[in-house]
Structure 1
């Protein structure tokens, strides 16, 4: 579903080039969930942006299914994001002038695949039944995050990218949101790549990788290196 092939990425700084990704290889299959961990500034968000086609690698290839994202122009990448990707961020990015139901349906409408039965099911499973006419400012933080997840899943994407989706929530709310997210991902069959700094949040996912010194390692290997 998602593949990185020898991806390199660096940024120009006053001190010279800053290498963020160095020959990164990554494969994520349909239906799998993967937690990407690492210290702040390690390049996790950069990797996520490359997966979404929001940025391009300096060299190497990023593929979504059979499509090489890194060879597409911006209009084609934007269409790919609309039609095949779901994005969830720590900041909810809800449209304040739209109601709950219209925020939920927004991404599906943009993708041209809105299905009212699936929208109604999402509303129920997100615990937002009866709140369809409210606006984001009238919701709690947990409700807003559930709505953001529902909006991302409304078009039934092939790949869901989540950047610290529980970072603004208390521990109890974060655990509930994560359980709901994994349940919906499992039921829709999409792949999930989630950035998190929390081992507790990462634990329920199928796989865990750590980005450190511009390279990916397994969480077990990273722990061994840290203690050696």
Structure 2
């Protein structure tokens, strides 16, 4: 579903090039969930942006759903994002002028996969029944994040990318949102790549990797080049 092959990425700074990713290899299969951890500035968000085709590697290849996205023109990458990706961020990025139901419909329509029955099921499972015509500003923070998750999953994407999706929530709301996220991901069969700084958030996912000094590590050890990491579940 998602594959990184010897991916390198650096950014220009006044002090010279800053290497963020240095030969990263990664494979995420359909239905798998993976937590990506690392200190601030370690490159977690960069890796997520590359996975979404929002940025391109300096060297190496990123593959999504069997396509080499780094070789596609931006309009093609945008279409692939609409059709194959769901994105959830720490900031909710809901459309304030659209109601709950219209926020859900928007993403599905963009992907040309609107399904009224699935939209109705999402509203129920998101705990937003009776609030279909409410606007985002009329919802609590936890409700807004649940809506953001529902919007990302409305087109039934093949891969969901989540960047600190509960960073703005209190612990109780975060636990509710994460439980819902895991259940919906499981039921839709999509793969999940979640960036988090929290071992507690990472623990329920299938696998957990650390990004440090441009390399992925499992249990503190660099991964052999060209080998897919298969660490035990997060603990």
TM-score, structure 2 as length reference: 0.93
Once the two structures are superposed, residues 146-181 of structure 1 have per-residue CA deviations (whole angstroms, 9 ceiling, x without a partner) of 000000000000000000000000011111111110
Match of 2:72 in 1: 72
Q: SS of the counterpart of 1:145? A: helix
Match of 1:81 in 2: 81
Matches within 5 A, 1:115-134: 115-134=115-134
Match of 1:167 in 2: 167
Preserved CA contact (<8 Å) 1:208 1:219 = no
C-alpha deviation, 1:221, in angstroms: 4.0
Q: For the residues of structure 1 that align with 2:4 and 2:161, how far apart are their CA atoms?
A: 15
C-alpha deviation, 1:104, in angstroms: 1.1
Match of 2:152 in 1: 152
Preserved CA contact (<8 Å) 1:7 1:22 = yes
C-alpha deviation, 1:195, in angstroms: 0.3
Preserved CA contact (<8 Å) 2:65 2:84 = no
Q: SS of the counterpart of 1:216? A: strand
Q: For the residues of structure 2 that align with 1:115 and 1:85, how far apart are their CA atoms?
A: 17
| C-alpha RMSD over aligned residues | 0.8
Q: For the residues of structure 1 that align with 2:204 and 2:187, how far apart are their CA atoms?
A: 16
Q: 1:197 to 1:219 in 2, by over 3 A?
A: farther
C-alpha deviation, 1:218, in angstroms: 1.4
Q: For the residues of structure 2 that align with 1:109 and 1:103, how far apart are their CA atoms?
A: 10
Match of 1:225 in 2: none
Q: SS of the counterpart of 1:21? A: strand
Match of 2:8 in 1: 8
TM-score, structure 1 as length reference: 0.96
Alignment of 1:213 with 2:213, yes or no, is: yes
C-alpha deviation, 1:220, in angstroms: 5.3
Q: For the residues of structure 1 that align with 2:118 and 2:48, how far apart are their CA atoms?
A: 27
Gaps of 5+ in 2: 223-235
Q: Which has the higher helix share?
A: 1
Q: For the residues of structure 1 that align with 2:41 and 2:138, how far apart are their CA atoms?
A: 34
Match of 2:200 in 1: 200
Matches within 5 A, 1:22-37: 22-37=22-37
Match of 2:102 in 1: 102
Q: For the residues of structure 2 that align with 1:14 and 1:216, how far apart are their CA atoms?
A: 27
